[in-house]
Amino acid sequence: MTSLLEHPRGAEPGKPGDRSAFSFETITRLPDAADGKGRGGARYGRTGILHTPHGDIRTPAFVPVATQAAMKAVLPESMRQAGAQCLLSNAFHLFERPGEDVLDAAGGLAKFMNWDGPTFTDSGGFQVLSLGAGFKKTLAMDVTGMKSDDVIAKGKERLAFVDEDGVTFKSPLNGSMHRFSAEISMCIQHKIGADIMFAFDELTTLMNTRSYQEDSVERTFRWAKRCVAEHERLTAERLGKPYQALYGVVQGANYEDLRRHAAEQIASLDFDGVGIGGAIEKRIIGDTCAWICDAMPESRPRHVLGIAAVDDIFACVENGGDTFDCVAPARCGRNGAIFTRDGRYNVKRAEFKFDFGPLEEGCDCYTCTHYSRAYVDHLLRAREFDGFTLATIHNERFFIRLLDDIRASIDGGYFDEFKRETLERFYRNGSKG
């Protein structure tokens, strides 16, 4: 069988990548409803097929995060066995090490990490927030009475500074100074070589003032136009490479008018898809997706960045999300938090010390079919890497299977019943996530 890694679609020697190798087709769409959040009661949820040079992705789909071209403690082969269709890596971290030139020389991200399938890279916009405000991965936060344009987490040093042209930042690895701009981000991501990449954007916190959010949306739009132009230039210049799809990112925090305005701006540009980004309050996460989908062409796939709470996934799928990524399943697993259909629990609780059953009854993942709660508990307490591996495999499989089941429910016409039954069961005992 011919390897897709060696022969991606739409790549011919001496020619620019063929854009037709990337496309999205809708299979089944949710019917509109009286309580639909989109215009005229629209519900934008759908199933589809995302065609990429390195293979197809059936949507909705969960995209596990291989931050540094690797899932922590888990090989790509294990992720394929767990049902992953694609992986997402972090352009900022790969820029820091090993450097984009290494991935380019290796033949691109997928080949570098021996992943025979589609890949995504984010733009580095999240790291602007993380380094600038010091909140790490915390985007959902209580901001009652807190509005400031000089937000900084307690005890943190500001490491990134935004200006009109881009961002200057201090490396968290060695303290050296670097510069990111729309053009630099595009150059880095082209060399990394993922099938899908994102325009460089400014990610704000919910604490920023309304006036700053307005300025940021306009700045992100100006950067988006520069990203499109640079993407076109690099696509024409880098001959023999497969086409890389570029998604624009919609910001605007919690403000409906800003989200709608930003969506119209991004829709006006020649992007291949859209990323729904930024800090969003949980209570309006579905509404936010619908506001954005109101403005988006049906043919553009929609990726929701950084979402992995079970109820949030249902809300986003129902209102138009096609693909989702988040580091939470792996991070939670390494700390002992296990996701199951009956909620989330910590396997390191004393009650599991002599429990020789699987992490979740009925789960088909490698961990659950080979190992016990007692063993995983022991490994995690002993800080053995095998514990990280086994817990991560299960949690990633949970979310991959959840999206697979949601996809089947849309195609089968029973999404509403499946959503109700799944959420009632998962949150019955007050589970987080």
Catalytic residues: 122, 325
Half-sphere exposure of 45 toward its Cβ, with a 13 Å CA cutoff? 31
Sheet holding 160-162, edge to edge: 160-162, 166-170, 177-181
CA 86 vs CA 116, 120, 164: distances in Å: 9, 8, 34
Angle at 254 between CA 404 and CA 164, to 5 degrees: 105
How far does the chain reach from its first CA to its final CA, in angstroms? 41
The total of other beta-carbon atoms located within 10 Å of residue 19's CB is 13
Report which of 194, 198, 189 is spatially closest to residue 86, judged by C-alpha positions: 194
Paired tokens of 245: 């799809």
Rounded CA gap, 363 and 12, in Å?
A: 43
Cβ burial 346-366 (10 Å sphere, 16+ → b, else e): ebbeeebeebeebbbeebebb
Q: Which two tokens stand for residue 418?
A: 């499946």
- Residue 357 annotated in ligand binding: no
Core vs surface per residue 135-167: b (16+ CB within 10 A) or e: beeebbeebeeeeeeebeeeeeeebbebeeebb
Show the beta-strand stretches assigned E in 231-306: 245-250, 273-276, 302-305
Confirm whether residue 201 is marked as ligand binding.
Answer: yes
126 is in an annotated binding site: yes
> According to the annotation, is 86 in a ligand binding site?
no
How many other C-beta atoms lie within 10 A of the C-beta of residue 233? 14
User: Does 365 appear as a known binding residue?
Assistant: yes
Question: Nearest 5°: phi and psi at 241?
Answer: -100, 150
Q: Give me the sign of the Cα torsion angle 187, 191, 192, 197.
A: positive
Give the gyration radius of the chain's Cα atoms. 21
Q: Is 122 annotated as a binding residue?
A: yes
Question: Does the annotation place 125 within a ligand binding site?
Answer: yes
Annotation: binding site for substrate: 122-126, 201, 251, 278
Annotation: binding site for Zn(2+): 363, 365, 368, 394
Annotation: binding site: 122-126, 201, 251, 278, 363, 365, 368, 394
